[in-house]
Amino acid sequence: MDVRGRCLRVSVRRAAGPGSRVPLLLMNGIGASLELLQPFVDELPPELEVIRFDVPGIGGSPMPRLPYHMSTFAPLIGTLVRRLGYGEVDVMGFSWGGGLAQQFAAAQRKQCRRLVLAATGTGSLMVPARPNVLAKMLTPRRHRDPEYARTIAGEIYGGTMRTHPERASEVLHTYTRKGPKRGYYYQLLAGAGWSSLPGLPLIRQPTLIVAGDDDPIIPVVNARIMHRGIPNSRLHIYSGGHLALLTEAKELAPVIDRFLTE
């Protein structure tokens, strides 16, 4: 779809049968095409309509002519939602996408009914990962080299990746489409200098914060900070790491679906 001059690859899983549920808009992690979230989507009930998209330069969305930023990209997603015919959506952001989801909830509040933040933080103002973990996040190599992904999985993803690192390679490479390397760096740049921390009180939607107790990329203390800052939020801490939403989707999808249907 062409949205305000940017071409985005969009996927909509239509609801099965009649239903009146609010659609769920998913916002993905860094460097990953929309297919990465397929294990989670497969565990959601079929009557729930699910919307996904590739950010510019990732997966099937072509490279943008100019970089973009969280603050300007959220309104563009608002236009996408309207173009698809939805007045209101529930939003779930995973990892990098959690930052975009927070920006969307604050800036496009009339379009966002409920918010789910999974394995994410508040951007540049947050408790950071250890330097050795951050260094490995600065390049897209783990998305392009399955053996490298397996080698570093336990160190950067934690949880079950520590004992079964091959699962990271399966998750990152079974479904996803590779985009240009430059798309990854544009995505990094989109969050440069951005933080939701001062604006957490502006997020008024009912919010579920989902975090792992062994997440080297986003230490769990960041989830507690968001929980304290977002007025109408609740916190669900699971036993696991950064990719549990994908590798343990059978356990986490029902938790999120119950929140959405309350």
Establish if 158 belongs to a structural domain: no
* Residue 113 located in a structural domain: yes
pTM: 0.97
The answer to whether position 133 is within a domain reads no
Q: Is residue 140 included in any domain, yes or no? A: no
Asked, for residue 165, whether it belongs to a domain, the answer is no
pLDDT tens figures, 185-244: 999 999 999 999 999 999 999 999 999 999 999 999 999 999 999 999 999 999 999 999
Which residue numbers are catalytic?
A: 95
Answer whether residue 94 is part of any domain: yes
pLDDT in tens, 127-177: 999 999 999 999 999 999 999 999 999 999 999 999 999 998 888 887 777
Please check whether residue 233 lies inside any domain of the structure: yes
Per the structure, the count of domains in the chain is 1
**CATH number (domain holding residue 116):** 3.40.50.1820
Res. 22 pLDDT band, cuts 50 70 90: very high
Answer for the pair 234, 227: CB distance below 8 angstroms, yes or no: yes
- Percent of the chain at pLDDT > 90 equals 91
Range of the structural domain that residue 104 is part of? 2-128+181-261
Is 175 part of a structural domain of the chain? Answer: no
